[in-house]
Amino acid sequence: MKCTNACWIVGLALVAFWPSLAFGAIPQSINYQGRLIDAVGAPVNDTVDLVFDICADSLCSRPLWEESQTGVIVKDGLFAVLLGSITPIPPSVFSGSVRWLSISKDGVAASRALRMVSMPYAYRSLLADTAYYAKSGAATDCSDCELIFVNSIGPDSVISSSGSAFLGKTSGSSSSTLSGVQGHASNSSTGSVNGGYFTTSDSGTGVHFGVRAEVASSSPASAAYGVLANANHSSGGDAYGGSFSANSGGSGTHYGIYAQGLGSSNPAYGIYGVGSSNSNGVTYGGYLSALSGGTGVHYGLRAEGYGASGVSSYGTFGLAENTSSGNAYGGWFETSSSGTGLHYGIRTESYGSSSAATYGVMGWASNTSTGTVYGGYFSNNTGGTGTHYGVRAVSSASSSASTYGYYGSGSNTSTGSVYGGYFAASSSGTGIHYGVKTVSDASSSSPNYGFHSHAENGSTGTVYGGLFDVSDLGTGSHYGVYSQSSSNSANDTYGILGTASNSSTGTVYGVNGTATSSSSGNTIGGAFLTSNSGTGSHTGVASWGYNDDATSCTGVYGLGQNTGSGDAYGGYFVVPNYGTGTRYGIYAEGPTLAAFFRGTVWVQGTLDVAGDKNAVVKVDNGEYRLVSCQESPEVWFEDFGEGQLREGQFHIDLDPSFLQSFSYRVVTKRRGYEDVRLAKSEGPTPEQLKAQSAEVQTNMEKERAKMEEERSRMAKEKPTIEKEPVGQEGE
């Protein structure tokens, strides 16, 4: 008969009874489980009304018993009922003849009636007055029985001394499910319920399987499951699709689950877990934990991935997707605070022996919307007094290739800022705050950099090898850059060494420092100090300016500007009176001019000149001649004036300052200069000096304008310190 709106597949039917000689001790009911599918073979999920009939023939022309059950829950096609719970089944129904079970839904019977075998006939046990009657089989008619139990002792035992104690086989060509063995258990009280319970004794040395399942399939469309377990709990208790445990006995390896997935085509999974919750409960695709007992290594999860092809191998691969506003973590790792050993949220080790790169950790993030994207995000909380590292990176190498403790790369093809690395320290706490602190140790002849930065811009934008900025907050000293350098070798030691190169016409600064202060504190664009240790030369600032064209070249350029009433110094040099060596406020050398001053020069102290002192005087032919100053072996003052002769005589009243002693004067030429008279000036003429001075002044004005422009631009481009969130997102 063809299916109309329902087809039926029988599960396992059991009579719930205990042996007794009294009829009243035998429950007049049968546990029955079935499967409901629709006309196309799909499992039904619904609540239905069913009618059950026990008949004397397969066409159910003579019903011996009938019962209607309403509100039967069908989930994934499966349902379970207790026949006789509404209308008790009288023992006369099972008189020893074959009986058939017919099931109807909405007035339509199933495709065929089901033949009832074995256990329902326990009703006949009422007639077994003696053990002899049961043993002789006088009341048994098994000429057409489909199932025979052998070596059966008691209501729940099937015993065999060899081979299989129980062997369930089913075969067919139907599209319906066929079960080799199907077990069903029901307990309306607090006792445990086992749909199937399998144990092995501990005797013998062979492999022991509590359950061993093997399945073979050759269908390309259907999956093959070694074991398929489903748990459904409609209340608040836990539901385990499968629960596997190994006890602590023995010294061998213990596997709670040992799974192998072997494949030669599509992906093969050793373990594949899916978690689904349509409510607000936590969902785990897989949950693995290790207890605290024992002293060996504890792995909550240990995964190994091996590959021998060009395809990637993953020890662990995590994928998380959340289509709503909740956080999604590709992987989440956490350690508790207990114990005194090292705690690693994640510890990764990666080994390579090829020319390809090896990554201890590689993080990648993508966000096609406006949310922040972190390739890696690391944070630690405020608990504890030990050193806190947001990130600590240690890199070791023994080859000629570069070794980076931390390597950061940033790329942005749009107008957003790009940071190769971004480090921020919050304002909380009173200890020293480092945005970045770098320490580099070396023991070779190669250079060693505590910090090395390189910037390149192929367009018109400004390029900074390093940009350091401090805000105007607070009252303490503010350093744009503070550097300390110490050495105990014969090589030079630099607090800061800056070099700059520009093959075009733009201004180049080896080091450019600006400082502003809105208060009364001193403002220093750059402060350079050397310690007093060591025997080599100590230079507070050493700068070199190189050029190979007609424009000027400046080793050091100083500009002082004060728009108020305070003094302004283009350069201020002081040497304190410490030590026994010669102290120079300024030491200058030049093959043409050692120094050039435009304006009044005022000297407080002795002026000693090793060479000549000349005045530059222009004569009638336009040349400039040198007029030497007269020299005296002693410190003398001279006075000059005018008088009038009267009859060949004159009288001069000398200044009282000159009347304190009688003096005389002897004039002689300086040795080496006997033939010098009105020597030509070999240096630049005053006109040339004036022109050069004007050029220098113009260049200084240009430089000052550039510096003002640069300072204004830097103020506009001043990076905004983005306050990073404290703690982890979603916490």
Determine the pLDDT at residue 342: 92
Q: 7-136 maps to which CATH number?
A: 2.60.40
Cα atoms in the Cβ-side hemisphere of radius 13 Å centred on 275: 13
Lowest mean pLDDT among 96-105, 173-182, 596-605, 720-729: 720-729
Distance CA 133, CA 21 (A): 13
List, in order, residues 6 or more apart from 706 with CB less than 8 Å away.
Answer: 507
CA 207/CA 713 separation, integer angstroms: 80
Higher pLDDT, 172 or 356: 356
Q: In the chain, helix, strand, coil percent, each to 5?
A: 10, 10, 85
* Higher-pLDDT residue of 684, 145: 684
- pLDDT (0 to 100) of residue 722: 56
Higher per-residue confidence, 325 vs 672: 325
Mean pLDDT of the 182-188 span: 84
CB atoms within 10 A of CB 474: 9
pLDDT of residue 691: 80
Cα(312)–Cα(290) distance, rounded to whole angstroms?
29
Count the alpha carbons within 13 Å of 331 in the hemisphere toward its beta carbon. Answer: 15
Q: Which pLDDT score is estimated for 132? A: 38
| pLDDT for the residue 66 | 92
More confident residue, 339 or 712: 339
Strand order in the sheet with 624-628: 614-618, 624-628, 679-680
Strands 624-628 and 614-618: antiparallel
CA quadruple 512, 481, 380, 333: dihedral sign: positive
Residue in 384, 298, 389, 294 with CA at minimum distance from that of residue 340: 384
300-325 pLDDT, tens digit per residue, is 899 998 889 889 999 999 999 999 99
Give CA–CA dist 677/625, Å, rounded.
9
DSSP secondary structure, 646-682, as one string = BTTB------GGG-SS-------PPTT-TT-SSEEP-
Whether the per-residue pLDDT at 138 is higher than 60: the answer is: no
Q: What is the CA radius of gyration of the chain?
A: 51
**Per-residue pLDDT tens digits for 395-423:** 888 888 888 888 898 889 998 888 888 88
- Closest of 584, 588, 480 to residue 526, by C-alpha: 480
Say whether pLDDT at 149 is over 50. Answer: no
Question: pTM higher than 0.75, yes or no?
Answer: no
Q: What percent of the chain has pLDDT over 90?
A: 7
Q: Are the C-beta atoms of residues 344 and 335 closer than 8 Å to each other?
A: yes
Categorize the per-residue pLDDT at 728 as very low, low, confident or very high, splitting at 50, 70 and 90.
very low
Mean pLDDT of all residues in 120-146: 43
The mean pLDDT of the chain is 80
pLDDT at 156 over 60: no
Three-state DSSP class for residue 132 = helix
Highest average pLDDT, of 82-96, 166-180, 376-390, 515-529, comes from 376-390
Tokens representing 12?
């396992």
d(CA 707, CA 557): 12
Cite the residue boundaries of each domain of the chain with CATH code 2.60.40.
Answer: 7-136
Residue matched to tokens 């000398």:
654
- Name 532's bridge partners: none
How confident is the model at residue 67, as a pLDDT?
Answer: 93
Inform me whether the pLDDT recorded for 8 exceeds 70: no
- pLDDT for res 663: 63
Ranges assigned E (strand) in 202-266: none
> Among 23-27, 312-316, 580-584, where is mean pLDDT lowest?
23-27
Q: Which helix (H) or strand (E) holds 709?
A: helix 686-716
Closest-CA residue to 515 (of 559, 474, 470): 470
pLDDT at residue 128 above 90?
A: no
> Following CA atoms 427, 433, 436, 440 in sequence, which dihedral angle do they give, to the nearest 10 degrees?
-170
Higher pLDDT, 506 or 205: 205
pLDDT over 50 at 525, yes or no: yes
What per-residue confidence (pLDDT) applies to 282?
Answer: 87
| Amino acid 173: pLDDT | 78
Q: Which stretch of DSSP H or E encloses residue 9?
A: strand 7-10
Q: Give the count of alpha carbons within 13 A of 3, CB side only.
A: 16
Provide the 10 A C-beta neighbour count for residue 423.
14
The C-alpha atoms of residue 86 and residue 330 are separated, in whole angstroms, by 53
C-alpha 208/C-alpha 201 separation (Å) is: 8
Q: What is the spatial distance between Cα 449 and Cα 439, in angstroms, rounded to a whole number?
A: 9
Candidates 271, 249, 251; CA nearest to 260 is: 271
Using CA atoms of 459, 462, 465, 471 in order, give the dihedral in degrees to the nearest 10.
-150
Give the separation between CA 633 and CA 596, rounded to whole angstroms: 28
Question: What is the reported pLDDT for 146?
Answer: 39
CA-to-CA distance for 477 and 529, rounded, in angstroms? 15
| pLDDT score recorded for residue 723 | 54
CB 48 within 8 A of CB 37: no
- Span of 89-103, 142-156, 502-516, 549-563 with lowest mean pLDDT: 142-156
Helix (H) or strand (E) holding 390: none
540 vs 95, residue with greater confidence: 540
